Amino acid sequence: MSTSTAFDRARAEDRAALVGYLPAGFPTVEGSIEALRAMVDAGCDVIEIGLPYSDPVMDGPTIQAAAQQALEGGVRTGDVLRVVEAVAATGTPTLVMTYWNPVERYGVEAFARDLSAAGGAGLITPDITPDYGQQWIAAADEHDLDKVFLIAPSSTDERIAMTTAACRGFVYATAVMGVTGARTTTSELAGPLVARAKAATSLPIGVGLGVSNGAQAAELASYADGVIVGSAFVRAVQEHAGDLAAGTRALSALTEDLAHGVRAGRGAVRA
Amino acid sequence: MTYDADQLGWFGHEGAFGGRFMPEALIAALDELDTEWRKALADETFTHEFDRMLREYAGVPSMLYDATRLSERVGARILLKREDLNHTGAHKIRNVLGQALLTRRMGKRRVIAETGAGQHGVATATAAAYLGLDCTVYMGKVDTERQALNVARMQLLGAEVIAVDTGSATLKDAINEAFRDWVANVDHTAYLFGTAAGPHPFPSLVLSFVRGIGDESRRQCLDLTGRLPDAVAACVGGGSNAIGMFAGFLDDRDVALYGFEAGGDGVDTGRHAATIFAGSVGVLHGSRTYVLQDDDGQTVESHSISAGLDYPGVGPQHSHLSASGRASYLPVTDAEAMAAMRVLAETEGIIPAIESAHAVAGAMRLAEERQGQTILVSLSGRGDKDMGTALDWFHLGTADDGTAGDDQ
């Protein structure tokens, strides 16, 4: 199921969509399924499942540590697809966010086929751009999958046009010129970037990198179609290491706060 | 046949090796670098200044040395390209002077770098001091411990050294961390990549600054011997000294090219860094190339006694040279390299870096089948930094007590 269904519903309710991220296998494979389902139950509109990778150049220390923990726990690419299947079964559009090499190693065509069979919506690909992603684009189109490429404040208008034209589902705008990780305020770079993206495409624009609470989510939701949250969810689990039930409660509480935020941003509820 | 990259950075054919597998946030910086680098190479003001810096500051061209005692011992004529005599003790000064000069030309004030053995870090800190740029160097924590003297050198040169303790805490993790810094600070910071790997244009850009190794060697060899060498040997980690050396001979079909990778404890033990010989094609640090990886595409830790070769990837142009058959890549174990280090020290009075000792060991092996032929070796660095390793390996450092001569 394409993520566009979730964005369409949010748009109909005059609010932004909440996109939540956790790596598969963190804290364990079963634990990540439980955690992600709690995020769905508490109000995430779209789920991003991270495929843990040994060399995550785009991730900050929080997510890198979680991915490393997952790898040390023995998570395999097949496990990631199993987590996708379990989460997608809730009916919530479920994407995989992955660095490119694990997909290439699995086989691009085989990965697209198996992701589709697991009910996955598509891929977010942080380290390939459309000009180097022809193989993935072809496989995604063949298997009716979303292709979510990233745009950045440093992207030229020409590249924003090229990138958004290659996307399906939504466009992922990285709002700070940095790596993933919680910030105290959302970036002033996000607004202009979203405006430039909207000038180029009618696809929804999700903004990532930096949001960790409902107030920040509300601020972003006033102009973005999707609020993407990763590190804050990872931290909620890390802060309750060894106690998944407490971690899951923290995830639910954070999700509710953020879900409130994405509604407050457009005045759909009082902030 | 061309061995250069196309406009998108592909070696071989589109999609084969190289390319640019990078976050969009860095594409503008890579495009800017690509444009400015091409302009600089076409600008005589830049190239003359680069040549002047190499000549007056770095001690380049390095000499080509006819290693007659070693030659006598192995039965082939061994010529050593003495990059170990360059300022800072390795070929890497060429690359960093080029990139630092380019940084200044681009109006940026800060450079960052990753380093394995510390050679590239020291070279970068040197170039930054020389050109008045701020400098931050990322180094795996494991490497900072085994190369503490190089950490001190960088600090004395005014650089900030950051120990990276994520992942395997070695070179690849330092590269990840440097990319992260670059994403966050790209407006005023240049990334001085240390080897001819990474995303386009780095493999070609680095080659353009280090190819003097091969171009000079070719000329010097003709001057010295009247003909080209029969074979050329260089060590390969990321592969910058090797690609710089090979570049001088790619079109000389009769000159055999050999890259010697770190065989560690032996390729069959799994503890090695023989990326081309024993790895498989994947994507690492921005380019498609040979990678040491598991069945899921996770990078496998490499192992080598030499920090500078301890890298699970390799420059994409080497992958292309291997796949096309133009160059051969073979492993040299820790033990072979250390033995060669000792042989060179004892026969020629030259203590090579352990990295370069892999090339010497490879050349000694080649000499067995190439008796009487001429073998050109890239002696890419000197061994001062490796004396701690040598001390442990050979159990050195305890002087005789003065009675040894009386034992008979």
ipTM, two decimals, is 0.93
Answer yes or no: do B70 and B136 share one domain: no
CA distances, B200 to each of A48, B91, B121, B266 (Å): 29, 21, 21, 32
How many C-beta atoms lie closer than 10 Å to residue B398's C-beta? 7
Answer yes or no: do B199 and B295 share one domain: no
User: Does some domain include residue B225?
Assistant: yes
User: Does some domain include residue A183?
Assistant: no
Domain end marker among B159, B180, B206: B206
User: Does some domain include residue A235?
Assistant: yes
A56, pLDDT greater than 80: yes
* pLDDT given at position B356: 98
B23 and chain A in contact, CB less than 8 A? yes
Answer yes or no: do B202 and B170 share one domain: yes
CA distance A193 to A204: 13
B385 and chain A in contact, CB less than 8 A? no
Answer yes or no: do B263 and B354 share one domain: yes
User: Does some domain include residue A220?
Assistant: no
Check B20 against A132: CB less than 8 A apart: yes
Answer yes or no: do B121 and B83 share one domain: no
When scoring B14, B24, B283 by the number of chain A Cβ atoms within 10 A, the one with the most, hence best to mutate, is B24
What does the DSSP assignment read for A96-148?
EE--HHHHHHH-HHHHHHHHHHTT--EEE-TT--GGG-HHHHHHHHHTT-EEE
Instruction: State the CATH number of the domain containing residue B173.
Output: 3.40.50.1100
Answer yes or no: do B255 and B151 share one domain: no
Query: Which pTM was predicted?
Result: 0.94
- Which residues constitute the domain of residue B220? 60-89+211-393
| List of chain B residues whose C-beta atoms are within 8 Å of the C-beta of residue A152 | 23-25, 27-28
Residue A72 CB burial class (10 angstroms; 0-12, 13-18, ≥19): exposed
Instruction: State the CATH number of the domain containing residue A38.
Output: 3.20.20.70
* pLDDT given at position A182: 45
Residues of A with CB under 8 A from a CB of B: 53-58, 60-61, 64-65, 68, 71, 76-77, 100-106, 126-129, 131-132, 134-135, 149-156, 159, 163, 174, 177-179
Check B298 against A53: CB less than 8 A apart: yes
Length of chain A as a residue count: 271
CA distance A167 to A159: 12
Q: Which of B20, B23, B296 sits opposite A77 (nearest CB)?
A: B296
Work out the pLDDT band at A176, boundaries 50, 70, 90.
low
Helix B334-348 vs helix B354-369: angle between axes, to the nearest 10 degrees? 90
User: Does some domain include residue A215?
Assistant: no
Work out the pLDDT band at A266, boundaries 50, 70, 90.
confident
φ/ψ of residue B235, rounded to 5: -80, 155
A47, pLDDT greater than 70: yes
Residue B308 CB burial class (10 angstroms; 0-12, 13-18, ≥19): buried
CA distance B155 to B251: 42
Answer yes or no: do B221 and B237 share one domain: yes
Compute the nearest-CA separation of B147 from chain A (Å).
Answer: 23
H or E segment at A81?
Answer: helix A77-88
Answer yes or no: do B106 and B241 share one domain: no
Domain end marker among B206, B234, B254: B206
CA distance B403 to B312: 48
Q: Which of A100, A135, A174 sits opposite B25 (nearest CB)?
A: A174
Compute the nearest-CA separation of A211 from chain B (Å).
Answer: 17
User: Does some domain include residue A204?
Assistant: no
How many C-beta atoms lie closer than 10 Å to residue B141's C-beta? 16
A271, pLDDT greater than 50: no
Answer yes or no: do B176 and B227 share one domain: no
- Using one digit for the tens of pLDDT, what is the confidence trace for A183-201? 445 567 889 999 999 999 9
CA-nearest of B380, B402, B17 to B213 is B380
Number of domains in chain B: 2
User: Does some domain include residue B5?
Assistant: no
Q: Which residues contact B120 (CB under 8 A, 6 or more apart)?
A: B92, B95, B96, B113, B114, B192, B194, B195
User: Does some domain include residue B2?
Assistant: no
Answer yes or no: do B41 and B84 share one domain: no
Answer yes or no: do B106 and B226 share one domain: no
Which residues of A are marked as active site?
48, 59
CA distance A71 to A66: 9
- Which residues constitute the domain of residue A252? 4-150+228-263
H or E segment at B64?
Answer: strand B64-66
Number of domains in chain A: 1
Q: For chain A, give me the number of helices (H) and strands (E)?
A: 12, 9
User: Does some domain include residue A105?
Assistant: yes
When scoring A132, A176, A193, A207 by the number of chain B Cβ atoms within 10 A, the one with the most, hence best to mutate, is A132
A69, pLDDT greater than 50: yes
Residues 272-331 of B with CB under 8 A from A: 282-286, 291, 293, 295-299
pLDDT tens across the length of chain B (408 residues): 689 999 999 999 999 999 999 999 899 999 999 999 999 999 999 999 999 999 999 999 999 999 999 999 999 999 999 999 999 999 999 999 999 999 999 999 999 999 987 889 999 999 999 999 999 999 999 889 878 888 999 999 999 999 999 877 877 788 888 988 888 888 899 999 999 999 999 999 999 999 999 999 999 999 999 999 999 999 999 999 999 999 999 999 999 999 999 999 999 999 999 999 999 999 999 999 999 999 999 999 999 999 889 899 999 999 999 999 999 999 999 999 999 999 999 999 999 999 999 999 999 999 999 999 999 999 999 999 899 999 999 999 888 877 655 544
B162 and chain A in contact, CB less than 8 A? no
A254, pLDDT greater than 50: yes
| List of chain B residues whose C-beta atoms are within 8 Å of the C-beta of residue A166 | none
Domain end marker among B177, B206, B235: B206
For residue B331 the two structure tokens come to 């492993």
| List of chain A residues whose C-beta atoms are within 8 Å of the C-beta of residue B186 | 154, 177
- Using one digit for the tens of pLDDT, what is the confidence trace for B195-238? 999 999 999 999 999 999 999 999 999 999 999 999 999 999 99
User: Does some domain include residue A125?
Assistant: yes
Answer yes or no: do B356 and B281 share one domain: yes
CA distance A62 to B166: 11
Residue A137 CB burial class (10 angstroms; 0-12, 13-18, ≥19): middle
User: Does some domain include residue A236?
Assistant: yes
CA-nearest of B148, B33, B124, B201 to B385 is B148
Q: Which of B27, B286, B297 sits opposite A105 (nearest CB)?
A: B297
B24 and chain A in contact, CB less than 8 A? yes
Compute the nearest-CA separation of A253 from chain B (Å).
Answer: 30
Chain centroid, CA B390 distance in Å: 20
Q: Which of B21, B26, B176 sits opposite A100 (nearest CB)?
A: B21
Check A57 against B180: CB less than 8 A apart: yes
